[in-house]
Amino acid sequence: MKQSFIEKYQFAHMPPTRFFRFEYEPEKCSHCKACVQTCPTSCLRWDEENKTPVATGLSGIELACIGCNNCEAVCPAACIRMRGEYKVLKGRYQTLEEKSGDMTPPRPFGVKDEHRFLNRLKQSSRKPKKSFTAAEAFACLKTSRSKRI
């Protein structure tokens, strides 16, 4: 029997993670369903019984929401809010905290090669030479065609 992707990887390791929080105020909702229609991952579905958007996914919104905030942006009643941020708390892919002075600059050419990296960066940011005008480009094209004949 062929397994679906979700069935195959339902017990895969998920590092400790903090996700976005989906906040919804039902008393403000105009029931337009724009939030459900605009969700690119279909993590929201409309519950006809309760007349509310419901988070779906592998185990709720946290494994389906990509944090695009489309639902919040299109809601005419402003009853949806996405709070917080996505962070991997532990493990190999841990989200690094940005602290001034604690970050090591990238060293693509090794530890002792910072000057080489800076020189290459400086050279790559030089201004380009003067570009052709349309008349010069046309004249150049004309001469190259006449040489072929």
For the question of whether the overall pTM of this predicted structure is more than 0.95, the answer is no
Tell me the average pLDDT of the chain.
Answer: 70
> Which ranges in 1-149 belong to alpha helices (H)?
5-8, 34-38, 70-74, 114-124, 134-148
H/E stretch holding 105 reads none
* Domain contains 6: no
Per-residue pLDDT tens digits for 1-37: 676 666 666 666 666 666 677 788 888 888 888 888 8
Per-residue pLDDT tens digits for 49-93: 878 887 775 454 455 677 778 888 888 888 888 777 767 777 777
What is each CA distance from 98 to 9, 23, 94, 111, in whole angstroms? Answer: 32, 27, 12, 21
Burial class (CB in 10 A: 0-12, 13-18, 19+), 35: buried
Domain range enclosing 42: 13-88
* Domain contains 64: yes
Question: Residue 66's domain is classified under what CATH number?
Answer: 3.30.70.20
* Domain contains 144: no
Domain count, the chain: 1
Amino acid 45: pLDDT: 80
